[in-house]
Amino acid sequence: MLKINDPEFLLMKKFIEEHCGIFLEGGKEYLIESRLSDLAIETGCNSFQEFHYKARTDPTGRLRDRIIDLMTTNETLWFRDASAWEYISEIAVPDIIDKAAAGNEVRIWSAAASTGQEAYSLVMLLDEASKKKGLKSIPDSIEIIGTDISSAALLLAGAARYDTIAMSRGLPEDKKQRYFKQAGNIWMFDEDLKKRVRFIRFNLQNSFTPLGKFDLILCRYVTIYFSEPFKKEIFAKMAVALKSKGVLLLGATESARGFSDDFDISYYKNAAVNTLKGGVP
């Protein structure tokens, strides 16, 4: 493994934060060594200083993107945190279906979609709720986008193919049987439902304006990796990206408190629900 020294750590830390917002405190040298050593060696570098230079001057940006892929933590699972999904299934989904059935457009954003489990968990609930309401399928007026900075994660998300380990993490057996087809050790998500999510590569450091406005944003387990100023920036941009009375859901260990005054924070059972302040219901 290639060792990193203090000046090299500062160079790499700055590079990573600049390109994806991930903030590495002192003490995280091992993370760079363990995740990037092989790539540095593969690209012919004998030190992290050389590697940094190579990444910084690569005109194609490919090396930068591979670094981002390796430095992002794509950990995810189905229906992550029971409390958040109680809110989603008992409050958000029925509301979304009602709005859509009444002819309104509803837009949902999984803003750190990783390999797709979050967005597809929601699609399964929307499908069940639509059928329960006597609809043939999820209304077309519901649009779901999933974004992530990691191209590697998005490839898996778009393929909607999962191995047995991924399948064993949080997915109830009845949904596994209903929504997936098995081919050897791989499980494929329902072809029609898979098309309900559009995955796009998107860096949360960019302006959210091109994405439009949303009724519901899931931005879960990603702000934990960011600096305080970047968290502030993200919450401010999220507020602008929400429609009136739109809702932002964060991971259980994340909070907008102290970073933003744009949200009313309420609790549904144990889930914190961040509703955009003001506007008409």
Ligand X SMILES: C[S@@+](CC[C@H](N)C(=O)[O-])C[C@H]1O[C@@H](n2cnc3c(N)ncnc32)[C@H](O)[C@@H]1O
| Span of 8-16, 58-66, 178-186, 199-207 interacting with ligand X by CB under 6 A | 199-207
For the bound state, the minimum distance from the C-beta of residue 265 to ligand X, rounded and expressed in Å, comes to 19
Q: Which is nearer to ligand X, 134 or 210 (CB)?
A: 210
Residues 121-140 that bind ligand X (CB under 6 A): none
Q: Could you say whether residue 175 binds ligand X (CB under 6 A)?
A: no
Using rule CB under 6 A, residue 264 touches ligand X: no
Closest CB 140 distance from ligand X, rounded Å: 25
CB nearer to ligand X: give 17 or 95.
17
- Give the nearer residue to ligand X in terms of CB position, either 252 or 265: 252
| The CA-based dihedral angle spanning residues 44, 48, 50, 56, taken in that order and rounded to the nearest 10 degrees | 110
Binding of residue 84 to ligand X (CB under 6 A): no
From the list 6-14, 74-82, 96-104, 269-277, the region that binds ligand X by CB under 6 A is 74-82
Of the two residues 139 and 179, which places its CB atom closer to ligand X in the complex?
179
Q: Is 205 in the site for ligand X (CB under 6 A)?
A: yes
Q: Considering beta carbons, is residue 41 or 224 the nearer one to ligand X?
A: 224
Rule CB under 6 A: say whether 114 interacts with ligand X: yes
Q: Does 150 bind ligand X (CB under 6 A)?
A: yes
